[in-house]
Amino acid sequence: MCRDFSQNSSPKIMSKTGLILLIQRLAMMMMMIVISAESPQPPFSCDPSPYPFCNKTLPIPQRAHDVVSRLTLDEKVLQLVNGAPEIPRLGISAYEWWSEGLHGVSRHGKGVRFNGTINASTMFPQVILTAASFDSRLWYRIGQAIGREARAMYNEGQARGLTFWAPNINILRDPRWGRGQETPGEDPLVVGDYSVSYVRGIQGDTFEGGKLYPNSHHLQASACCKHFVANDLDNWKTANRYNFDANITQQDLADTYLPPFQKCVQQGQASGIMCAYNRVNGVPNCADYNLLTKTARQAWAFKGYIASDCDAVAIMHDVQGYSKLPEDAVASVLKAGMDVNCGSYLKKYTKSAVEMNKLTEAEIDRALENLFTIRMRLGLFNGNPKTGMYGNLGPKQVCSKEHHALALEAARNGIVLLKNSPDILPLSKTETTSIAVIGPNGNTTDTLLGNYEGVACKNITILQALQNYVKNTQYHQGCVDFVNCTSIEIDGAVGIAKVVDFVILVMCLDQSQEREKHDRLELGLPGKQEDLVLAAARAAKKPVLLVLVCGGPVDVSFAKSDEKVGSILWAGYPGEAGGTALAEIIFGDHNPGGRLPMTWYPKEFSNVAMTDMRMRPDPSSGYPGRTHRFYNGKTVYEFGYGLSYSNYSYKFVSGTQNKIFMNPNQASHNNTPSGEVLVSGVGVELCEKVKFMVVVGVQNHGQASNHTVLLFATWDGKDSNGHLIKQLVGFQRVSLGAMERGEVEFIVKPCEHFSRANEDGLMVMEDGSHSLVVGDEEYIIYIFTLDMTKKSAQSQPTRGTTAAPKPRNTQRPEAPSVKNTKPSSTIDTSEYDQQILQVIDVNILYAAEEDASVMVEAQAMILNSEKHEVGSGQTVEEDRSIHRRGRPLSVQKLRQLLTRIHVFNGEMRKDSQITSVILRGS
């Protein structure tokens, strides 16, 4: 019997129906208690709340402003650090900003725990190997998978934040850098494209982008472009990332260091940036207003939050001596545009900075509104996230078969075949009856993960994976102290090498050799690894396979040139499925199609100071420059190098044009040399108009599929000072069947791909010829900047650079007709006439490149038709002087002039033939 003893009611017996309802409610409460105990709820705010900042119908900027306006100064200060506490009076939950997701949800950072229902996450290959696939869709899918697993862990109450501090998009400037393994390599285009794909994937955008606008509240997780900027030295001799002042020219900043971050922000729409420890030209990155506010927020329209690297604010005072007082450091970073401090410095000194009038509360509010905006975009101020658009993600989405298969695909497609003597790889599954696996990386799983790893879903060593193919597989570590290899057990290793059918040496580096806070001093294999390789190779029945498990490049010239080393594979740090991927490649179940995303330098490169940030070579001092774009020294393996089990050939199928006329506004020519214009003066509209497509035919001459096509651009001018040796234009992954032919398309953007930075850090384009190069094929492009004020009294100096034949297989595509090259009606008639003259000049170069005198005479006749008659007796020198006095002609006069030209390669031709050849169909 139950009685109701509430006030103003007399005791009465509860009805049978009421008793049943009460029991049901109690049972539901008990179930909720059990569920809550077994499955912790994710942290969130607004459950429910009357405050406007919890109103999902209001714009996020308005909601963020509202929540900040309700905080006291003390509450505000506590929200400026990575471990932001809860604010109970407003129903605001605690939040941890620091989580890591470089190549899988990581155990590093403070935001994620593997101590609940979910005890592992998918470990994809370390980024440097994934980059070697040159597959942007693969990069996107990996980011997408990491974002889903991150959100699943948050929904399960095993994460206290959804801001993941990845990707690392500092270029791999120096091969000794311990964190090079975390990056997509040395090329700014690849690094930038990787960042866009990864960011769109992890944040929940589409591959093409556009689903998530800057204030969208549909972020799956938040990505962070780091380390802004030029943070590519950790601990080399006396320099470390805390005390290092990177002296960088404006030229190198503009075309190397900044472009990946610009892409990450503008195209990827990243919601976070991390400012780096180091100084650049004397100013700490986190205190650089020009960098954080004028560049990122204003020029690039960045709308997210900016975090410091951990304790970077404290270092400004404690190590760099940049700030006299702790309060000065705090004030300088908040004024510069930073928002949250990984560390405790802002918690300790922000209030005193306000009291000392070094900082205003409004400047704190600016930072906090950025921070709360991100939390709202993640849906954490909309009530329980398990009821939101990502609420269905849980344990089933972590370590799924789909994600493991993706990790395997990434490892397969990233591994690079560096050497393969005939009849070595792939091994026969039927004829190979015994194998020896020798080396310190052959029977370990930890090394395969690289750094910033998590707890892998599955683990398999290279040895175990090979045993799945050949049961009689023996193992010997070879090096007594693992990869350090200060001592080797020659007898044991040589003993098994002698008796088996085939020897696989699994060598190179691990995190004891390259990691955060630890750069290498040398580029060779550590310790006595080389001795071990040579001893085993001499003892083996057949040439051996050398597998290199490492992030940064190593000098293995000894193995490259040794006939006893038949094949070399670079496996990077291939992740949880890396052992399986390697075994599949070795036995031919998968064709290696990876290409190196970085240059492999010789050991002598160690003599170059790691602190020298210059990209371009300096012939006067012998400085060789850096990366494939500028380096002029010897290489072990070049950027983009990679072999296959098939041979492939290329052919340019079509290109819509081979002449590009740029007619920028007059201001773009100011303060630039003749024949050079500022890209900013060309304008977005014209840059879009001159984009064109190039189609490359690819022929597979073998049985194996899976191939990467890289398209480069080269500058053909004689003066290489400040120019790039070559520049990557694009990359495509193609899968072709046995003996199959296919085609790949590339969009060429002249304003991007044919420009360079000048000494002031401004992007410029120049008159002259460029070449698009794929394999041994070349496609020539001519650029005309149409600087009428500077060219009216002089000849065009760059044309002669195209006269010499190229050593490559040069293909000259058909030139477009003059009517097809005519730009929009904004170009006046005289300028159009000049364009026609230039078309004719270039085509005469084609026809008369073997006879310079004929070329000059023809130019002179065209440009001086009113004064020049064929056979008038003027000399070539006189023709040159007349050419310098040349002036534009009308279209009518030009066409009349064509009938008077009778010189073409020293032969008389009919007027119609001359017209056809010179104008190519115009």
pLDDT category of residue 339 using cuts at 50, 70 and 90: very high
Q: Does residue 828 lie within any of the structural domains?
A: no
Question: What residue has token string 């969208």?
Answer: 216
Same domain flag for 571 and 528: yes
What DSSP state is assigned to residue 528? T
* Whole-number percent of the chain with pLDDT over 70: 79
Residue 762, domain extent? 646-813
Domain tally, the chain:
5
**Residues 6 or more apart from 93 whose CB is under 8 A from it?**
43, 44, 45, 86, 380
Same domain flag for 85 and 15: no
Task: Tell how many helices (H) and how many strands (E) occur in the chain.
Answer: 31, 29
Q: How many CB atoms lie within 10 A of CB 812?
A: 11
Name which of 327-331, 617-621, 700-704, 806-810 the model is least confident about.
806-810
Domain harbouring 463, CATH code: 3.40.50.1700
pLDDT in tens, 795-827: 333 332 232 233 344 443 333 333 333 333 333
Same domain flag for 433 and 350: no
Residue 733 identity: R
The yes-or-no verdict on residue 112 having pLDDT over 90 is yes
The yes-or-no verdict on residue 650 having pLDDT over 60 is yes
And the tokens for 242? 């805390």
What is the rounded distance in angstroms from the CA atom of residue 430 to the CA atom of residue 428?
5
From the number of C-beta atoms within 10 Å of its C-beta (0-12, 13-18, 19+), residue 670 rates as exposed
Same domain flag for 153 and 237: yes
What is the rounded distance in angstroms from the CA atom of residue 152 to the CA atom of residue 394?
4
pLDDT category of residue 890 using cuts at 50, 70 and 90: very low
What is the rounded distance in angstroms from the CA atom of residue 200 to the CA atom of residue 195?
8
309 belongs to the catalytic site: yes
* Whole-number percent of the chain with pLDDT over 90: 74
What is the rounded distance in angstroms from the CA atom of residue 225 to the CA atom of residue 102?
11
Q: Does residue 632 lie within any of the structural domains?
A: no
Q: What is the average pLDDT value for the chain, to the nearest integer? A: 85
Same domain flag for 326 and 446: no
Check residue 15 and give its pLDDT.
Answer: 52
Q: Does residue 825 lie within any of the structural domains?
A: no
Query: Which phi-psi region, left, alpha or beta, contains residue 203 (left: φ > 0; alpha: ψ -120 to 50)?
Result: alpha
Domain harbouring 97, CATH code: 3.20.20.300
Check residue 387 and give its pLDDT.
Answer: 94
β strands within 601-706, DSSP E: 648-655, 659-661, 676-678, 692-700
* Mean per-residue pLDDT, 495-499: 98
Q: Does residue 623 lie within any of the structural domains?
A: no
The yes-or-no verdict on residue 916 having pLDDT over 90 is no
Domain boundary among 549, 576, 592: 592
What is the rounded distance in angstroms from the CA atom of residue 860 to the CA atom of residue 863?
5
Same domain flag for 788 and 897: no
pLDDT category of residue 723 using cuts at 50, 70 and 90: confident
The yes-or-no verdict on residue 468 having pLDDT over 80 is yes
Greatest alpha-carbon pair distance for the chain in Å reads 131
Domain harbouring 788, CATH code: 2.60.40.10
Vertex 659, ends 654 and 660: CA angle to 5°?
Answer: 115
* Mean per-residue pLDDT, 389-398: 97
Name which of 215-224, 377-386, 396-405, 620-629 the model is least confident about.
215-224
* Mean per-residue pLDDT, 425-451: 98
Same domain flag for 761 and 853: no
DSSP notation for 529-591? HHHHHHHHHHHSSS-EEEEEE-SS----HHHHS-TTEEEEEE--S--TTHHHHHHHHHTTSS-
Same domain flag for 391 and 432: no
Q: Does residue 411 lie within any of the structural domains?
A: no
Selecting among 309, 767, 787, 879, the annotated active-site residue is 309
| Residues comprising the chain, all counted | 922
Q: Does residue 842 lie within any of the structural domains?
A: yes
The yes-or-no verdict on residue 316 having pLDDT over 90 is yes
Check residue 818 and give its pLDDT.
Answer: 31
The yes-or-no verdict on residue 149 having pLDDT over 80 is yes
Domain boundary among 397, 425, 455: 397
473-476 and 435-438 beta bridge pairing: parallel
* Mean per-residue pLDDT, 48-64: 95
Check residue 670 and give its pLDDT.
Answer: 56
* Mean per-residue pLDDT, 529-553: 98
Vertex 218, ends 212 and 222: CA angle to 5°?
Answer: 80
Same domain flag for 677 and 700: yes
Q: Does residue 604 lie within any of the structural domains?
A: no
Same domain flag for 484 and 519: yes
Name which of 246-250, 504-508, 512-516, 836-840 the model is least confident about.
836-840
Same domain flag for 434 and 318: no
Domain boundary among 592, 621, 638: 592
Same domain flag for 539 and 659: no
What is the rounded distance in angstroms from the CA atom of residue 736 to the CA atom of residue 56?
50
Q: Does residue 134 lie within any of the structural domains?
A: yes
And the tokens for 391? 């609420």
pLDDT in tens, 279-310: 999 999 999 999 999 999 999 999 999 999 99
DSSP notation for 129-190? HHHTT--HHHHHHHHHHHHHHHHHHHHTT-BS--EE---B-----STT-TTGGGS--S-HHH
**Cis-peptide into 259, omega within 30 deg:** no
676-678 and 763-766 beta bridge pairing: antiparallel
Question: What residue has token string 């077994």?
Answer: 38
